[in-house]
Amino acid sequence: MFVPENAADLLQYLDSHQTGVHLIANGTDLINRIQRKQVNPKTLVDLTGLSEFRYVKREGGMIKIGALTTISDLVASPIIDSRYDVFREVAMKFGGPSIINMATIGGNICSASSSEDLLPVLLVLDADVQVRSIHGERTIRVEDFVKGKRMTDLKSNELLVETSFSELESCSACSFEKVGMRNSLIIAFVNCAVFLRLAENKLCDEVRIAFNRVNGKIPQRARQTEKIMKGTMLNEQTLANAVATLRNELKLTSDFRASEEYRLEVACAIFKRAVGRCADRLAGEKVLV
Partner 1 sequence: MKKLTQSRQMLVVGKSLGRVDSLDKVLGKPIYTMDIVPENALYLKVVRSTVAHALLKRVDLSDARKYPGVVAVVTAQDIPGINESTALLPDKPLFATDRVRFAGEPIAAIASYDASIAEEAVDLVKIDYEPLPSVFSPLEALKPDAPQIHEKGNVAKHLKVRKGNVEEGFKQADLILEGTYKTPFQEPVPLEPEAGFVIPEPDGSVTCVGSIQSPYHVQRGIAKILSLRSEQVRVIQAATGGAFGPKSDEIPVDVLGMAALVAVRTRKPAALAYTREESMIGHTKRHPFVISTKVGVKKSGKLTAWETKMVADTGAYASLGPLVVIRACFHATGPYVIPNVKTDAYCVYTNNTMAGSFRGFGGPQAHFAAESHMDEIAKKLDMDPLDLRLMNMLRPGTLTATSQMVDEGCGLEECIKKATAESDWYRKRRQFQSMTGTKKRGLGIAIMYHGNSLGPEGNDFATVHMQIDSDCKIRVRTALTEYGTGAPSGLLQIAAETMHLPFDYFTLDPSDTEYCGDSGPTVASRTITIGGRATQMVAGKLDQKLREIAAEMLECSADEVESREGIFHSKLAHSVSLRDVVARAYSRGISLKESGTWTAPKCDYDPETSQGTVYLQYTYAAVTAEVEVDTETGRVQVLKMVAAYDIGKAINPISVEGQIEGGTIQGLGYALMEEMIHKNGVVVNPNLGDYYVPTSLDIPEIKTIIVEYPGRLGPFGAKAIGEPPVVLPAPAIVNAIDNAIGVRMDEIPATPDRLLTKLRRTQEAHEKR
Partner 2 sequence: MSKHLLKFSVNGKDYAVVVQSHERLLDVLRDKLGLKGTKEGCSTGDCGICGVLMDGKLVNSCLIFAIQARNKKIVTIEGIGSAEKPHPIQRAFMKWNASQCGYCIPAMILATKELLEKNPDPTTEDIKIATRGIICRCTGYLKIFEAVKTAASEMRGAE
Binding site for partner 2 (CB under 8 A): 1, 3, 24, 26-28, 31-32, 34-36, 44, 46, 48-49, 72, 92, 95-99, 101-102, 183-184, 186
Interacting partner of 62 out of partner 1, partner 2, none (Cβ under 5 to 8 A depending on kind): none
Verify binding: residue 266, partner 1, rule CB under 8 A.
yes
Contacts of 22 (CB under 8 A, 6+ apart): 30, 39, 41, 43, 44, 45
Q: Which of 262, 276, 282, 287 binds partner 1 (CB under 8 A)?
A: 262
Interacting partner of 20 out of partner 2, partner 1, none (Cβ under 5 to 8 A depending on kind): none
CA neighbor of 53 nearest in space, from 125, 137, 130:
130
CB of 257 to partner 2, least distance (A): 14
Strands 159-166 and 62-66: antiparallel
Toward partner 2, which CB reaches closer, 92 or 140? 92
Verify binding: residue 265, partner 1, rule CB under 8 A.
yes
Query: Coil, strand or helix: which one is 229?
Result: helix
Verify binding: residue 186, partner 1, rule CB under 8 A.
yes
* First-to-last C-alpha distance (Å) of the chain: 39
- SS3 of 105-163: HHHHHHHCCCCCCHHHHHHHCCCEEEEEECCEEEEEEHHHHEEECCEECCCCCCEEEEE
**Near partner 1 by CB under 8 A, which window of 8-16, 21-29, 186-194, 280-288?**
186-194
Verify binding: residue 42, partner 1, rule CB under 8 A.
no
Identify residues 154-173 at the interface with partner 1 (CB under 8 A): none
> CA 276, CA 246: separation in Å to the nearest integer?
16
> CA 231, CA 202: separation in Å to the nearest integer?
9
Verify binding: residue 184, partner 1, rule CB under 8 A.
yes
Interface positions with partner 1 (CB under 8 A): 96, 179, 181-187, 189, 256-259, 261-262, 265-266, 269-270
